[in-house]
């Protein structure tokens, strides 16, 4: 078999063909030779301050642009990226992890090499637990199938994959790549027909159906298919927290976010009062279910995900989610009497009281009128997320948050990942002071690339979510002068917000900035959103003190 390629160049070519335009990472000696190949390619290398920041940035990039990648060195780099990769696995984000490793030749000469932990395969074994496919590229004859198969699994299953390159294998010849063929999955037609028949009959006989749409609608690009179904059926649509912005929240059939007892009572009543709940692409997690306060009768559900279709207690395998949704969109689901349903309320005009101290509820009321068509809302965990749930998102794919895995520190590097792939998008970032302190370094990367997200640090001196579960001194953190960071980074614009009048001035200034804006929003220690109060009350009962 002719060898006109090398292992490293083969991988780079496949990344380009898969549509990757940027890759995030931190270089290290075990991966420098592969970095050289990346620099010579069409893929832009985005060097971050930390591998964790690279992972969060690549995750957000993947959520918006369809595929993300990080490139790190062995163990010290890889393990720093492990948490973001685990989050990408949990929330189905297509992410390619590329790691260098000790050369094959040097392993026999020295059994103990720097960065090594236990055996040479330790990192591979660990990443294999948070990836859907993995491979070590050490046999040139196997490399083409390993690379192609791994990337295909990432695109197919929308979860991370792992590829490891020993440093002395980067330039080793291997078979040249064949034309890349991305096969679209096909449904078992007989199984699809049977599932559609049962689902159609169930929906046709229902009087109060509702659609509950989740994150897989985002991941698999099924928004148009969902819209066709909604247009034809006129069923009301609610979203899960992780699926928020799955369709425009101005859509006449959209009723809001469903999150059990944590959410709005009007939305809860429609979903839980339905005689058929069509769940599409949703993770039925404790957060999506309002910390298990949801009351959805299994006998009244059609639950369709990328992995299986469940109708009541019947299970169907071998069905592509897109085919199922589009099949329902074409089906006769019966004429339904138009019901009076809750709709997303129009934001009330915000009239600031200039001297009034800022509160989280008034803050998000004002932000609702600040969002524009090119805004992408990026939320970290805690009240940054819970307070933002009721924001009116204008279009699709405009609300990002690790709402299931709930890892703090997501938002700042995520803003980098969102905007580096499309300068037309402008991230509006909400991050608590605790989460900000974890990954604020990536503001440096944001400044380096001339990006201009608007970052609101919700500064309430600690971990507010935990305060409402169980208060203690361990929830306090050191307060920083967050607004002074631009002086350190020699870039950016910043200000402090103490009052509603301050916020008006900050928004006016930030909107026109060409650099990033960092706004230090001072809040009382126990100030909180309504959703957080409900969550804390529920968690304190379920977790207890034992």
Question: In terms of DSSP bridges, do strands 254-257 and 237-239 run parallel, antiparallel, or are they unpaired?
Answer: parallel
Examine the pLDDT at 80 and tell me if it is beyond 50.
yes
Are 376 and 426 a contacting pair, CB within 8 Å? yes
Measured distance CA(251)–CA(337) in Å, rounded: 19
Angle formed at CA 277 by CA 272 and CA 282, multiple of 5 degrees: 100
Query: How high is the pLDDT of residue 359?
Result: 96
Query: How high is the pLDDT of residue 544?
Result: 53
Measured distance CA(369)–CA(348) in Å, rounded: 9
pLDDT in tens, 181-215: 877 889 999 999 999 999 999 999 999 999 999 99
Angle formed at CA 243 by CA 256 and CA 340, multiple of 5 degrees: 25
CATH class of the region 189-330:
alpha beta
Q: Choose the most confident range, by mean pLDDT, from 178-192, 237-251, 292-306, 512-526.
A: 512-526
Distances in Å between the Cα of 241 and the Cα atoms of 178, 262, 290, 464, 541 are 42, 11, 9, 19, 22
CATH class of the region 360-541:
alpha beta
Examine the pLDDT at 37 and tell me if it is beyond 70.
yes
CATH 3.40.50.970-classified regions of the chain: 5-174, 360-541
Stretch 480-500: mean pLDDT, rounded?
Answer: 97
Q: At what angle do helices 82-90 and 51-65 cross, to 10 degrees?
A: 30
Examine the pLDDT at 9 and tell me if it is beyond 70.
yes
Measured distance CA(320)–CA(191) in Å, rounded: 11
Examine the pLDDT at 110 and tell me if it is beyond 80.
no
Are 50 and 1 a contacting pair, CB within 8 Å? no
Query: How high is the pLDDT of residue 546?
Result: 47
pLDDT band, residue 287 (cuts 50/70/90): low
pLDDT band, residue 468 (cuts 50/70/90): confident
With a CB cutoff of 8 Å and minimum separation 6, the contacts of 237 are 210, 211, 212, 213, 226, 230, 247, 251, 253, 254, 255
Query: How high is the pLDDT of residue 344?
Result: 61
Q: Across the chain, which distance is largest between two alpha carbons, in Å?
A: 77
The fraction of the chain above a pLDDT of 90, given in percent, is: 71
pLDDT band, residue 457 (cuts 50/70/90): very high
> Which helix (H) or strand (E) is 32 found in, with range?
helix 32-40
CATH 3.40.50.1220-classified regions of the chain: 189-330
Stretch 277-303: mean pLDDT, rounded?
Answer: 77
Q: Is 516 helix (H, G, I), strand (E, B) or coil?
A: coil
pLDDT in tens, 401-415: 998 888 999 999 999
Burial 344-368 (b: 16+ CB within 10 A, else e): beebeeeeeeeeeebebebbbbbbb
Please state the length of the chain: 546
Query: How high is the pLDDT of residue 16?
Result: 97
The fraction of the chain above a pLDDT of 70, given in percent, is: 92
pLDDT in tens, 341-400: 766 666 678 899 999 999 999 999 999 889 888 899 999 998 899 889 888 876 544 899
The chain-wide mean pLDDT, for the chain, equals 90
The fold of 5-174 is Rossmann fold (3.40.50)
Query: How high is the pLDDT of residue 535?
Result: 66
Measured distance CA(375)–CA(509) in Å, rounded: 16
Are 132 and 160 a contacting pair, CB within 8 Å? yes
Angle formed at CA 449 by CA 444 and CA 454, multiple of 5 degrees: 70
Radius of gyration of the chain from its Cα atoms, rounded to whole angstroms: 24
Query: How high is the pLDDT of residue 225?
Result: 96
């Amino acid at each position: 078999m002719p060898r006109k390629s090398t292992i490293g160049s083969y991988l780079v070519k496949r990344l380009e063909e898969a549509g990757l335009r940027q890759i995030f990472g931190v270089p290290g000696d075990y991966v420098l030779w592969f970095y050289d190949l990346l620099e010579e390619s069409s893929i832009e290398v985005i060097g971050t301050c930390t591998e964790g920041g690279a992972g969060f940035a690549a995750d957000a990039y993947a959520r918006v642009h369809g595929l993300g990648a990080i490139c790190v060195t062995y163990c010290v780099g890889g393990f720093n990226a492990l948490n973001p990769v685990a989050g990408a696995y949990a929330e189905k984000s297509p992410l390619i992890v590329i790691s260098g490793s000790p050369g094959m030749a040097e392993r026999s000469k020295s059994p103990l090499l720097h960065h090594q932990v236990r055996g040479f395969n330790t990192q591979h074994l660990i990443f294999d637990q948070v990836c859907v496919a993995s491979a070590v590229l050490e046999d040139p004859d196997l490399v083409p199938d390993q690379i192609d198969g791994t990337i295909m699994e990432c695109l197919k299953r929308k979860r991370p994959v792992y590829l490891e390159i020993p440093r002395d294998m980067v330039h080793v010849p291997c078979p040249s790549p064949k034309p890349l063929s991305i096969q679209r999955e096909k449904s078992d037609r007989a199984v699809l027909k049977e599932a559609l028949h049962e689902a159609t009959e169930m929906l046709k006989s229902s009087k109060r159906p509702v659609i509950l749409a989740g994150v897989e609608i985002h991941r698999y690009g099924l928004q148009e298919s969902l819209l066709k179904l909604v247009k034809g059926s006129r069923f009301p649509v609610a979203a899960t927290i992780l699926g928020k912005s799955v369709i425009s929240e101005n859509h006449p059939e959209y009723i809001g976010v469903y999150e059990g007892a944590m959410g709005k009572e009007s939305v809860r009543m429609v979903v839980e009062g339905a005689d058929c709940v069509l769940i599409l692409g949703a993770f039925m997690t404790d957060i999506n279910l309002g910390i298990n306060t949801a009351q959805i009768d299994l006998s009244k559900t059609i639950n369709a995900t990328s992995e299986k279709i469940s109708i009541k207690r019947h299970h169907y395998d071998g069905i592509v989610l897109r085919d199922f949704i589009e099949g329902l969109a074409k089906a006769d689901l019966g004429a339904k009497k138009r019901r009076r349903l809750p709709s997303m309320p129009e934001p009330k005009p915000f009239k600031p009281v200039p001297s009034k101290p800022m509160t989280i509820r008034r803050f998000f009321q004002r932000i609702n009128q600040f969002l524009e068509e090119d805004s992408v809302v990026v939320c970290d965990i805690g009240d940054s997320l819970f307070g933002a749930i009721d924001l009116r998102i204008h279009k699709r794919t405009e609300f990002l948050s690790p709402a299931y895995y709930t890892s703090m520190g997501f938002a700042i590097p995520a803003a980098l990942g969102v905007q580096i792939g499309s300068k037309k998008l402008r991230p509006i970032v909400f991050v608590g002071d605790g989460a900000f302190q974890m990954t604020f370094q990536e503001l440096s990367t944001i400044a380096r690339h001339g990006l201009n997200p608007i970052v609101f640090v919700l500064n309430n001196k600690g971990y507010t979510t935990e305060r409402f579960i169980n208060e203690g001194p361990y929830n306090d953190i050191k307060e920083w002068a967050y607004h002074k960071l631009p002086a350190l980074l020699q870039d950016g614009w910043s200000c402090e917000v103490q009052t509603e009048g301050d916020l008006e001035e900050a928004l006016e200034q930030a909107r026109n900035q060409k650099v990033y804006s960092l706004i230090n929003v001072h809040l009382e220690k126990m100030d909180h959103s309504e959703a957080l109060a409900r969550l804390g009350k529920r968690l304190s009962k379920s977790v207890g003190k034992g």
